[in-house]
Amino acid sequence: MSEAPQSMASIDHVNVRLAQRSYPIAIGHGALETGWEAIDLKGFSRVFVVSNPHVFALYGERLMRAVGARHADVRNVLLPDGEDQKSWQSLNQIFDALLVSASDRKTLLVALGGGVIGDMVGFAAAIYQRGIAFVQVPTTLLAQVDSSVGGKTAINHALGKNMIGAFHQPIHVLIDPSVLQTLPAREFRAGLAEVIKYGVALDATFFAWLEENLDALNAQEPPAMREAIKRSCEIKARVVADDEFETRPQGGRALLNFGHTFGHAIESALGYGVWLHGEAVGCGMALATKFSASLNRISADEAERVLALITRAGLEVEPPRIAPDVWLTHMARDKKNERGRLRLILLDAIGQSSTDASIDADTVKAFLAGH
């Protein structure tokens, strides 16, 4: 990966508008390096880059050089790779590195990696000395279109995914689509699930664009990739600006969780990392779509279009074998649930979804028993 950074002129910007917590997302080839031009590092005492050994071997040197050209004190700490490492133990390695080096509250953390690194670094930044600043440099498609934006940070617990965390917004997001060239195909497909999510749950125009451009995305054609990343970030930025802390009783940020109640249940029932998060979300969206059709909220034709798009992205629409009771046990731990009731995100049309807490567990169980 020795692609020369291009000028700032080739960088797109999407703004996440959250009053004093607003920040820009820079998207473009070379942003890993050139994006730092827009970040004022003078106010920070130190920069700590957090990554994993695999990603750091690929992009660490380039990033450290770019940051090092703008700050005299740049260090790094590497965490073990993998969803099953999104834990207190890994998180503590960040705090160990910060405390051993006497890093103060003016330290800037940089998350270089996928959603696992981004979520952990964000959580570390949220709670180290009651909160420090961080920058997201997402290197997977999933992280570029979703997890690096919006300030949800977390680690997993054996009893539930992302159960321990905080809202903490980054000060900047640098998205360099060229780093996706080294991403394994399976990880790329998992990222497409979150791209498709925006179209299915929130934006019919984007859904139609995806139907037209999915072959170009599967081939990772740069213009299509950049457009998909930009539009995903725009949709997410709009939703987050409207409901940062996911407190709206209807709709709002919860809609970004379309497919996730089923998906998180797959991840935790099978064990973290067996199905990738995006794979589980893809299948979860297929189940939420079929369930919406079974309740006559959407037509069979609409459901077919959604399932066809998920399938074209190389994602599974049939769930793994999980007993209905086990499904329900895991779905009952979803963070959206209130007062013991399931709160599902269901489709009302392509591009239009809503939260529904009126469906009883037996109806869901009967639906799942048929799969």
* Interacting residues toward ligand GLY by CB under 6 A: 146, 150, 152, 253, 256-257
When asked if residue 55 is in the footprint of ligand NAD (CB under 6 A), the reply is yes
Q: How far is the CB of 235 from ligand GLY (least distance, A)?
A: 11
Q: How far is the CB of 25 from ligand GLY (least distance, A)?
A: 14
**Contacting ligand NAD within 56-95 (CB under 6 A):** 58, 81, 83, 86
Residue 296 CA to residue 272 CA, distance in Å, equals 33
When asked if residue 142 is in the footprint of ligand NAD (CB under 6 A), the reply is yes
Residue 134 CA to residue 171 CA, distance in Å, equals 6
**Contacting ligand NAD within 163-202 (CB under 6 A):** 179-180, 182-183, 187, 190
Q: Which alpha helices (H) appear in the chain, and where do they start and end?
A: 31-34, 53-55, 61-68, 88-100, 115-127, 141-142, 185-202, 204-218, 222-242, 260-270, 277-294, 300-312, 324-331, 361-369
Q: Which does 234 bind (CB under 5 to 8 A by kind): ligand GLY, ligand NAD, none?
A: none
Q: Which does 257 bind (CB under 5 to 8 A by kind): ligand NAD, ligand GLY, none?
A: ligand GLY
When asked if residue 274 is in the footprint of ligand NAD (CB under 6 A), the reply is no
**Contacting ligand NAD within 295-334 (CB under 6 A):** none
The one-character DSSP state at 69 is T
Q: Which does 279 bind (CB under 5 to 8 A by kind): ligand NAD, ligand GLY, none?
A: none
Q: At CA 20, angle to CA 15 and CA 25, rounded to 5?
A: 20
Beta bridge pairs of residue 174:
26
Q: How far is the CB of 94 from ligand NAD (least distance, A)?
A: 15
Q: Quick one: which of 8, 1, 277 has its CA closest to 145?
A: 277
Residue 321 CA to residue 336 CA, distance in Å, equals 24
User: Which residues have a Cβ under 8 Å from the Cβ of 132 and sit 6 or more positions away?
Assistant: 105, 106, 107, 108, 109, 125
Q: How far is the CB of 353 from ligand GLY (least distance, A)?
A: 13
Q: How far is the CB of 151 from ligand GLY (least distance, A)?
A: 8
